[in-house]
Structure 1
Amino acid sequence: MIHELRVYHAAPKKVGLVAQRFIKHNTPIYQRLGIKVVGSWTVAIGEANDQFIYMLEWESLAEREQKWTAFLKDEEWQKIWAETDKDGALVRFASNQILQPVQAA
């Protein structure tokens, strides 16, 4: 099992719109494509309150590559992204990390 942590740094005052887009649009598309969302968060206390964070779960890197590529090419997603970013990008930049579990000694 592989977990991917994705962090979206929202444009000023747009983290709520990023979260709305994720809940209303990304999540149903992910479900249709078989992408498992572990959870999603915004920062309540901390230095970066412009972040929208979520975690995905994959069986393998090969599954991630196949399904993430399908998501990026998805026509519904392309239309939603264009529509929600028409007045300026909601996300300034994004980062992701593939996490590796720590095994107890």
Structure 2
Amino acid sequence: MIHELRIYHCAPGRLPALNQRFEQTTLGFWEKYGIKPIGFWTTLIGPSNQTLTYLLEWESLAEREQKWNAFSSDPEWIAKRAATEATGTIVERIENHILVPTAYSAIK
């Protein structure tokens, strides 16, 4: 089992638009492609309160590559994502980390 930690750094004031896109659009596409989110967080205390952090769970890197590529190239997803950015960029920068659990991790 591997986990993917993604941190989306939003343009100023655009975190509500990103949260709305996840709730109304992204999660439906992830369900369609079998992408399994573990949790989502916003930053209460830290360098910026304009970030969304989330964790995905994968059986393997091969599963991640197949499902993520299918999702990210879906023409309907691309069109809906573009529509949410008609008034401006939402995400300025994405951090992506592929994590493997330690022997003492509660999450395996």
Same fold (TM over 0.5): yes
Q: More displaced, 57-66 or 79-88? A: 79-88
2:23, 2:55 → 1: CA distance?
13
1:103 and 2:103 are equivalent in the alignment: yes
State the secondary structure of the residue aligned to 1:79. Answer: helix
2:47, 2:23 → 1: CA distance?
24
Unaligned runs of 5+ in 2: none
Say what the alpha-carbon RMSD is for the aligned residues: 0.9
Quote the residue 2:76 is aligned against: 76
Quote the residue 1:35 is aligned against: 35
Percent identity of paired positions between Structure 1 and Structure 2: 47
1:63, 1:50 → 2: CA distance?
30
1:19, 1:13 → 2: CA distance?
12
* Alignment: residue pair count: 104
* Moved beyond 4 Å, runs of 4+: none
2:85, 2:17 → 1: CA distance?
10
TM-score of the superposition, structure 1-length normalised? 0.94
Q: Deviations over 1:78-98 (max 9, x none)?
A: 111110111211000111100
State the secondary structure of the residue aligned to 2:54. Answer: strand
